[in-house]
Structure 1
Amino acid sequence: MKVVVLGGGIAGLCMGIYLHQHDIDVSVNERQIFSAVGGHAFLMHHDGITVLNELATESNCPLPGKPVHTFILRDADGLIVNEKILEDWQCFKRTDLLACLNQLLPASRLRNNRVFSHFVYEADQVVAAAFSNGEVEYGDVFIGADGANSIVRQQLFGEVKFEPGKVKEVVGIIQHAELAAALQGKFTKFQQKDQGLSFGLIPTSATEMVWFMQYDPLLADIPEGINPRDSDQYHELLHELCLNLLKDFPATVQQVLKCNDFRTSYIWNTRDFDLLPSFHHQNVVLIGDAAHVALPFTSAGTTNAMLDAKTLSHCLLHYPNLSTAFSAYYQLRAESIKEHVNLGRALRDSFLSADASDVIPLISSALK
């Protein structure tokens, strides 16, 4: 059996590593060459950390991640609203995790510069994946791991109906040794009580911190039509937006904004879609954001992608045929995914209603 993975992000790499470790012929195909720059950071729960440890069992590769042991919720004046001890959570930079996973997968299994174009069929069965550079990869099983805007999903099921997340998020990374040292192991979140506005801060190293601003775009926003990729105007407006919305937040927040290079920050338009009725069609199956997208309030997206890879690889190895394996994979994952979609929407609604006490399950209940 040869497996062709379309997408070399976290889900695709985990899938490739699992299959390679079990002597399955696998090809992971990624649109670009990995570069350890840019990207953001995220929290990962015990379940995802367990998957990473399993993947790295036979490797000397140092594992990334910084333990996060405390969640502190403060109001916009800096006063503590609530404080919770966290069990087995870590903060990862996306680039650090990708670098680790790239080391765990032999280079011979990874093909870069391959932008998926379409499937090649014989007798109504997919036999190969074609790429925009003219290359073709033949296989027996095809796994779509090409993200939220998945072309594989579109070709299997058509366009999904994305639900607007109603909340936007600005993300940035700063270097600030003093602040990072003071907040090691702590996820600090400042929540405006009377409107949908918050600011979060998590150390990713001894000197580096990732920050985010979640906001209701009805409060203020950047005008539509401005290109975020190459526009100085965009980054100036983004800077002004953050300064304006967060002007009454504590000195810690102002410090972060002062140190941040807004040319490396961006706005994330959050969105999701309802659970698909299936994750597969014939010999093609979806994992990660290609299969399901939940709002960021659950902090579960990366963990879910890694669990997809673990579950699907187990099913492929232990069930007698593809149909049974794919059905079992869906049954094992669908209920949890549906819960996370619903939880994300509930937490979003609590955020927009500005009830700070309701925002705590962002961490404590995300993966129970």
Structure 2
Amino acid sequence: MNKIAVVGAGISGLSIANYLEKHQLDYHIYERRKKDDLTGHGFLLPKEGIDYLSQIIEPSVLFKHGNFLKKYIRYSHNGKILAQKDLNDVFVISRSALIHILAHNIPAEKISYEETVMPCPIQKGKLRKQDGTYIDSDVTIVSDGSKSRIRREIFQEETMKTVQENEIVNIIKCKDIAASLEDNFMKYHHEDGGLTFGILKLSEDTVLWYCQFDNKKYKISETSSVESLKSHMFEIFKDWDPMVSSIVKGSNYENVHLWRVYELEKLNPFYKDNTVFIGDAAHPLIPFTSQGVTSALKDSFVLTQYLASEKNSSDAFRKYEAERKPEIEIHIRNGRILLDQFLKPLDQQTENILPISYK
């Protein structure tokens, strides 16, 4: 296998770079953002995701930067326990920590930051930098996120649609609040549906929190200032359980992230010519599945195995898609089911539903 260009240095891009490095395949990563552009939200990793990560990083290093969760506890918005379920080897970690761990294994000369690349309109299958020069590569692995520019360029007939759910994600550093939490996944639900607040303890002094809201009921402009977003959160959650309101009021909103969720109306092929897509660039998943990182890791593992074993990239891409697409379609269906549950009033939702999609 000849030189590989990887587009994107997020979780997907760095994951496959680690696998390529392990197999001694030649690659280079191109990332349009700055090196220190690390949004502070986080991820849930079920056991399967941990197993795949453990093939490219030391588990002991991973476990220092996150936390294992014991139970999923479902609450009403005023703090009444509605249901609970034991969790087996579910791990929570911040995005910045996981990016740092994955990037540590990649030689600095193999990543170019602040480098935007796009398909060349003249030379089929080639990538072009902003200055007009071509990238010397035989295979392109695209991992530039759910709104992938390269995917839209190659599959111009695709239809992306907004999902009736947005998220606000943030991290609060407070030893007192962290100390008051057990190692559980806590999720509070409004009785009218369409509004939840999740809390996950990352460490002894850091807590990840997120709000999911029906964007038809709760309209927040994408251009909202930090102050207006903060005021909006204060107003929405002022009468919720004291744990929720204390986190909302005690947080620093400087790095708060408003996440507008999109999905493809229909999946594209996972590859075309010498370009192949992984992670969200191939298959955006509704966040209710909690399978974004694990799916990206599995994509990276499977694709690398075929790139290393097949004589040509076409066979590698074909086998990769055949193996991964059926499972992704299950997660897409599960995500839509979980979204439908979320939008219903609490008394119409399935009891003890777990916000993680399993195949």
TM range (shorter): over 0.9
Residues 138-177 of structure 1: pairs in structure 2 closer than 5 A: 138-177=136-175
Aligned to 1:227: 223
Q: Is the 8 A contact 2:141 2:275 kept in 1?
A: yes
Q: Provide the C-alpha distance between the structure 1 equivalents of 2:316 and 2:23, rounded to a whole number of angstroms.
A: 16
The change in CA–CA distance for 1:121 and 1:58 in structure 2 (over 3 A counts) is farther
1:263 Cα shift? 3.0
Residues 313-352 of structure 1: pairs in structure 2 closer than 5 A: 313-352=304-343
Q: Is the 8 A contact 2:172 2:247 kept in 1?
A: yes
Q: Which amino acid aligns with 2:118?
A: S
SS at 2:334 equivalent: helix
1:347 Cα shift? 0.7
TM-score (norm 2): 0.93
Q: Which amino acid aligns with 1:177?
A: K
Deviating beyond 4 angstroms after TM superposition, the runs of 4 or more aligned structure 1 residues are 57-63
1:237 Cα shift? 2.1
Residues 113-128 of structure 1: pairs in structure 2 closer than 5 A: 113-119=114-120, 122=123, 125-126=124-125, 128=126
1:61 Cα shift? 8.1
% identical equivalent positions: 29
Q: Provide the C-alpha distance between the structure 1 equivalents of 2:71 and 2:352, rounded to a whole number of angstroms.
A: 12
SS at 1:34 equivalent: coil
1:354 Cα shift? 2.4
Q: Is the 8 A contact 1:275 1:334 kept in 2?
A: no
Q: Which amino acid aligns with 2:173?
A: Q
Q: Deviations over 1:180-206 (max 9, x none)?
A: 123242110011122311111111111
The change in CA–CA distance for 1:359 and 1:179 in structure 2 (over 3 A counts) is farther
Q: Provide the C-alpha distance between the structure 2 equivalents of 1:47 and 1:320, rounded to a whole number of angstroms.
A: 29
Aligned to 1:90: 91
TM-score (norm 1): 0.90
Aligned to 1:231: none
Residues 149-228 of structure 1: pairs in structure 2 closer than 5 A: 149-222=147-220, 224=221, 227-228=223-224
Worse-superposed segment, 87-96 or 258-267: 258-267
Q: Provide the C-alpha distance between the structure 1 equivalents of 2:339 and 2:284, rounded to a whole number of angstroms.
A: 14
Aligned to 2:28: 27
Q: Which amino acid aligns with 2:161?
A: E
Unaligned runs of 5+ in 2: none
Unaligned runs of 5+ in 1: 229-233
Q: Deviations over 1:206-245 (max 9, x none)?
A: 10111111111333323x4x624xxxxx222212222222
Q: Which amino acid aligns with 1:24?
A: L
Aligned to 1:107: 108
Q: Deviations over 1:233-258 (max 9, x none)?
A: x2222122222222221111111011
1:278 Cα shift? 1.3
Q: Which amino acid aligns with 1:227?
A: T
Q: How many residues align?
A: 357
1:283 Cα shift? 0.8
